[in-house]
Structure 1
Amino acid sequence: MMVAIGDYNELEIAKEVDFGVYLDSDDGEILLPAKYVPDDARVGDRLRVFIYRDSEDRMIATTLEPKAKVGDFAALQVKDTNQYGAFLEWGLEKDLFVPFQNQRDKMQAGRRYVIYIYLDDSSDRIVGTAKYEKYLQKEVTDLTEGQEVQLLVAGLTDLGYKVIVNNKYLGMVYKNEVFRDLPIGEQTRGYIKKVREDQKLDVTLQRVGFGEVKDAAQIILEKLQGANGSLPLSDNSDPDTIYQMLGMSKKTFKRAIGTLYRQGQVVLHPESISLTNQIEE
């Protein structure tokens, strides 16, 4: 099997040398430098290694785990720039290169950018691009409404936040449904609100429907139990205060405490809520 550059490979140790070990592959022997060789590794052992190219374009192995691999979208920080492009820190000795033609605006050192990592066909080098849209899948084939997904916050528009869903699709979280800071590059959990006819995804940070209320009710109960049975929240509380304390919208909070009240688990006060057994005691 050919070596997958920019990905993890399981390769056998072919021989030991003073400066490391050589791993056997269909592309020839690949060096794993001594500082990355496990202490108990011996000839014949198979190691899981990440393969990339060093500064002289030779294939080299490492047991370090980069923040992302070829085929991934990721938010990485610019370490340095020069006349050819930008170099992003991604957890390996050699930084990830993003050439000028792959930048939307000139990248600045110290800032984070959402990029896609790919193997350049002409040079066989691993590079990144901030023009990631063309690498997203256009047709949604494996998502349903209400499904939990992983999100990478990729950008901000007038409507809301662009998010990359499950490392495959582009989605939107609308501004009026976000009640906290959502910085570019954050990875978080979300839920599919709607798969539109044009194959675009509407996404929410909170579970939709009954499941959302059920989850919220459990969160409130746990918070009450950890706060001696009482919380300074009510129907009159500010939405930002509710979100800061519970991580949910005021609408969801009101539905959840209504459910808990009907179940006899909480007592509602003008400026607070408390566990029923707390009152009985």
Structure 2
Amino acid sequence: MAEIGKLNTLRVVKEVDFGLYLDGGEHGEILLPKRYVPENAKPEDILEVFIYLDSEDRIIATTETPHIMLGEFACLKAVAVSSMGAFLDWGLMKDLFVPFREQKLKMEEGRWYIVTVYLDSETKRLVASAKIEKFLDNIPPDYEAGQEVDLLIVGETDLGFNAIINNQHLGVIYKNEIFQPLRKGERIKGYIKKIREDEKIDLLLQKPGYAKVDDISMKIVNVLKSHDGYLPVTDKSDPDTIYELFGVSKKTYKKAIGALFKFRLIDIEDKGIRLK
């Protein structure tokens, strides 16, 4: 059955002047308006579409992919504010509605907000909420230390940065373990450091093992990341080249890459260094 708020793979039932009708199962036939119809699409084809309600509360399909789907979290821009609430740009023609009751503070046009999308039980409409905490940590965390996870940066705190983990839990990245700039709404990979007894989650931005290296080594790692994981620089390279890249002396550089190699974080090749 077609699910509202998610991507669905549906069969084309018939073609009409104004688009295609898709088999929506219990929802009946769902219109894919002509503007979204792929070239040469025809009955019996299988299409991937996003399902939502249009401005007249009719179930409708689109081949466009929104910035956020049901149960997900994202940082979206408020594009309008009315007497009923705010409207966010989520990449579709119809903006995403946030009622006042789901706003932490009154939203302002032009500002960005971390929100989630849920299905209103009464109207069956997709609605956004900035009160994200009630949608997180509703199931026990089931992660392993060192596990790679998807993170959405929520914002800065006195401890560091809060981040949403896999659209399910909230975790913290401590400021003394951050070696790169972060911004609200940024999506990055991270790693589980540990789950505390109170089920709060500590995070790392680098693979476990990186915590054992110093700031200079981390700077080298970050420069490597910005160059696709490889640099044609060795312990025999010109000191000026090393300083230009990393801002350190050749002696300090050699010590740092030695530590990175010891912790198996890089490979030292004949003509350069490479992240593992």
Q: Do these two structures clear the TM 0.5 threshold for a shared fold by scoring above it?
A: yes
CA deviation map 1:25-67 (0-9, x unaligned):
2212111111111121111222111110111111110000111
Q: Distance in 2 between matches of 1:262 and 1:150?
A: 24
- Give the corresponding residue for 1:10: 9
User: Deviation at 1:259?
Assistant: 5.0
Gaps of 5+ in 2: none
- 1:24 and 2:23 aligned: yes
User: Deviation at 1:83?
Assistant: 1.1
SS of 1:231's equivalent in the other structure is: helix
Does the CA-based 8 Å contact 1:152-1:188 persist in structure 2? yes
Taking structure 2 as the reference length, what is the TM-score of the superposition? 0.81
Q: Distance in 2 between matches of 1:180 and 1:262?
A: 20
Does the CA-based 8 Å contact 1:235-1:254 persist in structure 2? no
Q: Distance in 2 between matches of 1:261 and 1:72?
A: 39
Q: Distance in 2 between matches of 1:78 and 1:217?
A: 33
Mapping of residues 13-92 of structure 1, within 5 Å: 13-25=12-24, 26-92=26-92
Identity %: 45
Distance 1:260 1:93, change over 3 A: same
Distance 1:17 1:257, change over 3 A: same
- Give the corresponding residue for 2:258: 257
Gaps of 5+ in 1: 239-249, 267-274
Taking structure 1 as the reference length, what is the TM-score of the superposition? 0.79
- Give the corresponding residue for 2:183: 183
* Amino acid in structure 2 at the alignment position of 1:222: Y
* Amino acid in structure 2 at the alignment position of 1:20: G
Q: Distance in 1 between matches of 2:99 and 2:72?
A: 18
User: Deviation at 1:107?
Assistant: 1.0
User: Deviation at 1:137?
Assistant: 2.7
Q: Distance in 1 between matches of 2:186 and 2:43?
A: 42
Does the CA-based 8 Å contact 1:52-1:59 persist in structure 2? yes
Does the CA-based 8 Å contact 1:153-1:162 persist in structure 2? yes
Q: Distance in 2 between matches of 1:254 and 1:168?
A: 41
* Amino acid in structure 2 at the alignment position of 1:258: A
- 1:200 and 2:200 aligned: yes
Does the CA-based 8 Å contact 2:232-2:271 persist in structure 1? no
CA deviation map 1:170-220 (0-9, x unaligned):
100112222333111111111111111111111111122279769949949
CA deviation map 1:86-144 (0-9, x unaligned):
11111111011111110001111111111011101011000000001111134444311
Mapping of residues 214-225 of structure 1, within 5 Å: 216=221, 219=224, 222-225=230-233
Does the CA-based 8 Å contact 1:117-1:126 persist in structure 2? yes
Q: Distance in 2 between matches of 1:237 and 1:181?
A: 20
Distance 1:235 1:9, change over 3 A: closer
Mapping of residues 85-164 of structure 1, within 5 Å: 85-164=85-164
User: Deviation at 1:79?
Assistant: 1.1
RMSD: 3.5
User: Deviation at 1:235?
Assistant: 10
Does the CA-based 8 Å contact 1:117-1:129 persist in structure 2? yes
